[in-house]
Chain A
Amino acid sequence: MTASTRRSFLATGIRSAGLLAMGGLACDSMRPQEGFLGLMERVNERFQRALFDPGRLAPELPEEDESDPDDFPAYKISEEYPVVPGGWVLRISGLVARQLTLSAAELRRLPRTSTRVRHHCVEGWSAVASWDGVRLSEIARLAGVDPRARYVEFRSFETGYYSSWDVESALHPQTILAYGMNGEPLATEYGAPLRLYSAVKLGYKMVKYLGEVSFLPVRTGGYWEDKGYEWFAGV
């Protein structure tokens, strides 16, 4: 290597290291999952996973703590509510011993569970409702989930609406597929016929209008997550 090629080699090296450092350390509010902010999201995910105790239950609240239904916001991702496909069924797929398709009636015949916990929205508000449905862990048991499945993807029949979770949070006893709310059948604005509900995640992770649950070896993204919201989002 001549002195001049060595010099240019060195210069290129320094330049790319500098670019890497700048790119790697940038804080870009519009791309919060990249650069330094993205690096720290991964640090925070480790912290949240370390803190997560699969056996710890959120306190079940008494009925008088329930928010007035008018005070429990329901957000939607498009102008119109999606139309429930005729002959709707929930599909269970991915790394499972038995792929399942469950109709609304079949879901109601599975062991029913109710949970009334505080709901935490990413925006900062909290509210309380009670939710009736089936534990996802119950469905996972029926389907025979492979231990290689580390992630669970929840997909809506509404185009583009989905979220993926760590399997530990998905199988938490207070993570349910809900078909009822406050003792009534689930209303359209809250995700009928079936939605995900959980005590251990922020609200935006709870996909409405469910169509498919897949147990996967790798993580995917999500509707809100792909926009830049934090992926883990545990509470």
Chain B
Amino acid sequence: MRRPAQPWIIRVTHWANLVLFTIMAGSGLRILAAYPFLGPRGEDYGWYPLQGVNAPPLLTIGGWLAGARHWHFAFAWFFAANALVYAIYLLASGEWKRRLFFPRRDAWNAWQTVLHDLRLRKEPPPSVGLYNGMQRLTYTGVLAMAPLLVLSGLAMYKPVQLPRLTGLLVGYDVARAIHLLVLAALTLFTVVHIVQVLLHPRTLVDMTIGGPERPEGTP
């Protein structure tokens, strides 16, 4: 079976995610500004280097604490639902085979890509199907982290009504730290992602209009 590089469900959920993730991150940073410390009162976590540091207001959404909370809890549903549509499609369509990281297919290729990016190898390794190994490793890492974002958010939202989830994440304050750390990791990913897209504009076209048909990859 042949299908475009980026099937329409992936394109729609990708761009919806851009909008929704921006709203969630912006409102989340505005909520954080009300108490920009990690750790319970009187027990600030020593490992967190940004105690007391706020995001620039330009990067925040919601204006004030109550406004930002309403944005955050209104759009959380759409953010999670969009991710769920993507995840179901990924599994049901078989797209996971050409997108997820499989060590046997991708590990050596990923390593060669790193060497090339570090200028230690002249030629970039060829992509294996849709992506190279490093892309697959990165995207798979993002997909693995995303549920943690939702789960840690739920644990903070309902620490009393969801005791098992909150306990699994070691408690309210640890869940809050996880929530912020996953945001930091995903922001780092987004920066690298945008740089890579600027270096390879063709991928932006594919993600918008679908791109050429390609054979389905096998792991």
A127 to B40, Cβ gap below 8 A? Answer: yes
A124–B65 alpha-carbon span in the complex (Å): 10
Among residues 36 to 82 in chain B, which have CB atoms less than 8 Å away from a CB atom of chain A?
37, 40-42, 61-71, 73-75, 77
A-B contacts counted at CB < 8 A amount to: 110
Q: Which of B66, B77, B171 has the most CB of A within 10 A?
A: B66
| Interface range on chain A (Cβ under 8 Å from partner) | 35 or more
Residue B160 is within 8 A (CB to CB) of chain A in the complex: yes
Interface readout for B151-166 with A: 1 if CB under 8 Å, 0 if not?
A: 0000001111111000
- Neighbouring B residues of A59 by C-beta, 8 Å: 163
Q: Which of A12-20, A30-38, A77-85, A147-155 contacts B (4 or more CB under 8 A)?
A: A30-38
A230–B63 alpha-carbon span in the complex (Å): 15
A52–B162 alpha-carbon span in the complex (Å): 9
Q: Give B166 Cβ to nearest chain A Cβ, in Å.
A: 10
B70 to A40, Cβ gap below 8 A? Answer: yes
Interface readout for B138-162 with A: 1 if CB under 8 Å, 0 if not?
A: 0000000000000000000111111
A228 touching B66 in the complex, CB below 8 Å, given contacts A43-B77, A56-B161 = yes
- Neighbouring A residues of B74 by C-beta, 8 Å: 27, 36-37, 40-41, 44
- Neighbouring A residues of B37 by C-beta, 8 Å: 125
Q: Give A86 Cβ to nearest chain B Cβ, in Å.
A: 35
Question: Per a CB cutoff under 8 Å, which of A44, A58, A70, A124 touches B73?
Answer: A44
Q: Which of B27-35, B96-104, B123-131, B210-218 contacts A (4 or more CB under 8 A)?
A: B27-35
Residue B172 is within 8 A (CB to CB) of chain A in the complex: yes
Residue A72 is within 8 A (CB to CB) of chain B in the complex: yes
Interface readout for A159-193 with B: 1 if CB under 8 Å, 0 if not?
A: 00000000000000000000000000000000000
B172 to A118, Cβ gap below 8 A? Answer: yes
Residue B136 is within 8 A (CB to CB) of chain A in the complex: no
B161 to A123, Cβ gap below 8 A? Answer: no
Question: Closest chain B residue to A172 by CB distance?
Answer: B160
Residue A229 is within 8 A (CB to CB) of chain B in the complex: yes
- Neighbouring B residues of A120 by C-beta, 8 Å: 159, 172
B35 to A29, Cβ gap below 8 A? Answer: no
| Interface range on chain B (Cβ under 8 Å from partner) | 20 to 34
- Neighbouring B residues of A44 by C-beta, 8 Å: 73-74
Interface readout for A88-129 with B: 1 if CB under 8 Å, 0 if not?
A: 000000000000000000000000000000101111111110
A67 to B32, Cβ gap below 8 A? Answer: no
Residue A222 is within 8 A (CB to CB) of chain B in the complex: no
- Neighbouring A residues of B70 by C-beta, 8 Å: 29, 32-33, 37-38, 40-41, 228, 230
Question: Closest chain A residue to B41 by CB distance?
Answer: A127
Residue A68 is within 8 A (CB to CB) of chain B in the complex: yes
- Neighbouring B residues of A58 by C-beta, 8 Å: 160, 163
Residue B173 is within 8 A (CB to CB) of chain A in the complex: yes
Residue A235 is within 8 A (CB to CB) of chain B in the complex: yes
Q: Give B151 Cβ to nearest chain A Cβ, in Å.
A: 15
- Neighbouring A residues of B31 by C-beta, 8 Å: 124
A128–B42 alpha-carbon span in the complex (Å): 10
A227 to B161, Cβ gap below 8 A? Answer: no
Question: Closest chain A residue to B63 by CB distance?
Answer: A29
- Neighbouring A residues of B64 by C-beta, 8 Å: 29-30, 228
B41 to A73, Cβ gap below 8 A? Answer: yes
- Neighbouring B residues of A121 by C-beta, 8 Å: 35
Residue A3 is within 8 A (CB to CB) of chain B in the complex: no
A126 to B158, Cβ gap below 8 A? Answer: no
A120–B64 alpha-carbon span in the complex (Å): 19
Among residues 178 to 235 in chain A, which have CB atoms less than 8 Å away from a CB atom of chain B?
199-200, 227-230, 234-235
18 contacts between A and B (CB under 8 A): A29-B67, A29-B70, A32-B66, A32-B71, A38-B70, A51-B158, A58-B160, A58-B163, A70-B42, A71-B42, A118-B171, A123-B34, A124-B176, A125-B41, A126-B172, A127-B40, A227-B66, A234-B158
6 extra A-B contacts, CB within 8 A, seeds A41-B70, A124-B32, A126-B172: A29-B71, A40-B75, A124-B34, A125-B35, A234-B161, A235-B161
Query: Which chain B residues have a beta carbon within 8 Å of chain A's beta carbons?
Result: 31-32, 34-35, 37, 40-42, 61-71, 73-75, 77, 157-163, 171-173, 176
